[in-house]
Amino acid sequence: MRAEALEAPAAVERLLAENEAEVRSLARFLRRRPPVMVQTIARGSSDHAALFGKYLFEVRLGWPTASAAPSVVTVYGARPNLRGALVIALSQSGASADLVESLRAARAAGALTVALVNVEDSPLAAAAEVVLPLHAGEEKSVAATKSYLTMLVALAQIVASTEEAGDLAAALPLLPERMAAAAGADWSAGLELFAPATDAYVIGRGYAFAVANEAALKLKETSALHAEAFSAAELLHGPVAIVGPGYPILALAPYDRPYPQVVELLAGLKQKGAELAVASSEGEALALADAPLALPERFHPLLDSVLTIQAFYPFADALARTRGYDPDRPRNLQKVTRTR
């Protein structure tokens, strides 16, 4: 797991170069015929990447985006009207039958179908009109790392090529170097806080909420730690009732528009006695932490969440080992999950 996470910067560099022509072609089409909506089809880590895509498409392009429930097609036999929609399926293996069937149904219903997939000769790739390979190389670890990160960047590349603003397009070529720096972040301060934990919250907002979902899943997969992800706003609508003295919280607070609200929430959680591990580039947020998890200096408000999860993966590997688990062999899991 750790080795593959550290390969992600090189994989992202390959993806940006290898997919550029195909993405530019797709972007020209999307500018001429903007979709009426975007639907994403994914499960697990890939679905967390899709949530990142939802924020990208809605914030940067104004395209309403929703996550598909594959059982609508595969179990209930329904065929939603997706004429004029952009449907993006995301998968490392491209082998899950429910994703394949859902993408085929979307294509038959009139959607433009795109597959972001690491295995280029997979059934999912064959079902799509446009295939954007992840170029992550073979991923042996059960817990996805580099394939997840390349999905985030593939989605950002689509948006950067489609929108009129140039800030994201200018930042993407610099991202691999920034990812390599983030992968070397020292988060050892968080090990003592989470080593004895049985439950925890992972919080973020906006793009950081999307990666918070992935972080919570990895804590479950690799450390058998029951971690739940919440939006920093949603936490106040009920889940905060659980928080009391000593309750562990991993807060992802890169500098983005929600940052002031996240800092305000952290101050309130500290007053409740929560034990805070805070991942941020900002001294104000780190000062509230029982375990400060420093990130490299600000880079881009959208891509700083990519750097946050890049820094998290080596930490997750180390935490699992501290808790007596082998992160490369999570119990009850296998690399390819086939659902219908």
Q: What share of the chain in percent tops pLDDT 90? A: 88
How high is the pLDDT of residue 228? 94
Tell me the average pLDDT across 3-10. Answer: 96
Nearest to 100 by CA among 82, 124, 122: 124
Tell me the average pLDDT across 321-340. Answer: 73
Question: Looking at the domain covering 184-322, what would its CATH class be?
Answer: alpha beta
Residues 6 or more apart from 199 whose CB is under 8 A from it? 225, 226, 227, 228, 247, 248
How sure is the predictor about 233, in pLDDT bands with cuts at 50, 70 and 90?
confident
CATH number at 2-175:
3.40.50.10490
pLDDT at 336 over 70: no
pLDDT at 338 over 70: no
How high is the pLDDT of residue 165? 81
pLDDT at 238 over 80: no
CB atoms within 10 A of CB 108: 11
Contact of 239 with 230, CB cutoff 8 Å: yes
- Average pLDDT over the chain reads 94
Residue owning tokens 């997939």: 117
174: DSSP letter: G
Residues 6 or more apart from 235 whose CB is under 8 A from it? 201, 203, 265
Nearest to 311 by CA among 223, 247, 249, 252: 252
pLDDT at 333 over 70: no
How high is the pLDDT of residue 328? 86
Residue owning tokens 């007596």: 324
Six-digit token string for 236: 């106040």
- Its pTM stands at 0.95
Tell me the average pLDDT across 73-98. Answer: 95
Residue owning tokens 């059934």: 123
Pairing of strands 86-91, 38-41: parallel
How high is the pLDDT of residue 331? 67
How high is the pLDDT of residue 237? 81
* Between 139 and 40, residue with greater pLDDT: 40
How sure is the predictor about 236, in pLDDT bands with cuts at 50, 70 and 90?
confident
Alpha helices in the chain, H assignment, sequence order: 2-6, 8-18, 20-32, 45-56, 71-74, 97-108, 123-127, 146-162, 167-171, 175-183, 189-194, 207-223, 259-271, 283-286, 304-322
Report pLDDT digits (tens) over 131-170.
999 999 998 887 889 999 999 999 999 999 999 789 999 9
Nearest to 19 by CA among 106, 118, 124, 94: 118
**Distance set, CA 86 to CA 89, 282, 305 (Å):** 10, 37, 24
CB atoms within 10 A of CB 184: 11
- Locate the domains of the chain by residue range: 2-175, 184-322
How high is the pLDDT of residue 334? 52
pLDDT at 225 over 80: yes
Tell me the average pLDDT across 308-325. Answer: 97
What SS3 state is found at 291?
Answer: strand
Contact of 200 with 224, CB cutoff 8 Å: no
Exposure pattern of 58-94 as b/e (b: 16+ CB <10 Å)? eebbebebebbebeebbeeeeeeebeebbbbbbbbbb
Tell me the average pLDDT across 267-285. Answer: 95
296: DSSP letter: P
Exposure pattern of 194-226 as b/e (b: 16+ CB <10 Å)? beebeebbbbbbbbbbbbbbbbbbbbbbbbebe
